[in-house]
Homo-oligomer: A and B are copies of this chain.
Amino acid sequence: MKTRIAIIGLGKIAIDQHVPSITGNENFELAAIVSGRLATVNGLPSFRTQEELYAAMPDVTAVALCTPPAGRFETTRAALLAGRDVLIEKPPAATLGEIAELTTIAEDQEKVFFTTWHSRFNPAVTEAKRQLTGKRLARLRVDWREDVRRWHPGQAWIWQPGGFGVFDPGINALSIVTEIAPEPLFVSHARLEVPSNRQTPIGAEMTFATPDPVAGADLTAIFDWRQEGPQSWNITAETTEGTVLELTDGGAKLAVDGKPALAEESQEYQRIYAMFADLLASRTSHVDVRPLRLVADAYLVGDRVAVEAFED
């Protein structure tokens, strides 16, 4: 039987990715939309609030939460307490405390709670993970460099406390490295570059440690929002055996020792919904806090440096 699911928050990511991925998956039936503007697609019923949806359509047992980050905790909590299974876009909440509480509520309610980190669902990331399994890392280098003026023009919230700054895109890289790394990664050092007129970093460097470090291992990440020319979202991993994996285009492409290893069209969201169907079938939650925990730990132990004021 198909799971009747509603999308909460019909923004760009919902329309571009969630709608086609749900309607293209035989395990789901997209049944309704919740939108403050009463927007809809495919002629589906639309409700201003999730409470109205639940009252009108008790057979909608799952929701995909695609609202902006602010207020996600309350929305997710209400959905779980209303007895719905929840899939949520990254980042799952504003703080680690909120995610812990949502996890507890999902357990108490016996509901499925799935915190997706979409970048991980690229087939090239899965292949990189497979190739690194059982290996040790000699080198890891994240280069996540983009132009904030191009991707986040005039978005004031990203610069406010809790807005994550350059970690808003950077957390995608962290969701990939925590997925592919064959050993746990912690933050040993971090440097956060914060514009003198802003609260969140425009650039950051992170050095990772592992529990049992390989001698001479060099594991670092660079995040920069001041990249004006070509943009780069690349991760290079080198094993102690000398194999070099290069994930490029945000995890969409993989080369191994310089040869293309996989370059499928991105199927991130199709794979997200395939996994959600599996989780629903087995009544299992999947909550991964690691990408956000790395950011929190970087804030906790990081050196903060004031840099040039940033104006949009």
**A-to-B contact residues, CB < 8 Å:** 73, 77, 94-98, 100-101, 104-105, 161-162, 184-187, 189-190, 194, 199, 211, 290, 293-297, 299-304
A104 contacts across to B, CB distance below 8 A? 184
A187 to B73, CA, bound (A): 12
Which residues in B have their C-beta under 8 angstroms from that of A97? 184-187, 290, 293-294, 297
Q: Add 6 more A-B contacts to A98-B186, A194-B304, A299-B299 (CB < 8 A).
A: A94-B300, A96-B293, A96-B297, A97-B293, A162-B301, A304-B304
Query: A299 is contacted by which of B73, B100, B296 (Cβ under 8 Å)?
Result: B296
Q: How far is the CB of A229 from chain B (nearest CB, A)?
A: 31
Assess whether B296 is in contact with A186, with CB atoms less than 8 Å apart.
no
Given B199, B294, B301, which contacts A161 in the complex, CB threshold below 8 Å? B301
With both chains docked as a complex, state the minimum distance between the C-beta of A181 and any C-beta of chain B, in angstroms. 12
- Interchain CA distance A293-B94 in the complex, whole Å: 13
Supposing A95-B186, A161-B301, A161-B302 touch, asked if A211 and B101 sit within 8 A by C-beta, the answer is yes
Shortest beta-carbon distance from A174 to chain B in Å: 11
| Cβ-defined contact, A300 with B304, below 8 A | no
Residue of B with least CB distance to A304: B199
Collect the chain B residues with CB atoms within 8 Å of residue A302's CB.
Answer: 161
Q: Which of A97, A162, A296 has the most CB of B within 10 A?
A: A97
Contact indicator B162/A296 (Cβ below 8 Å)? no
Whether A301 contacts B94 by the Cβ 8 Å rule is yes
A162 to B, closest residue via Cβ = B301
* Residues A296 and B300 in contact in the complex (CB < 8 Å), given A97-B184, A184-B97: yes
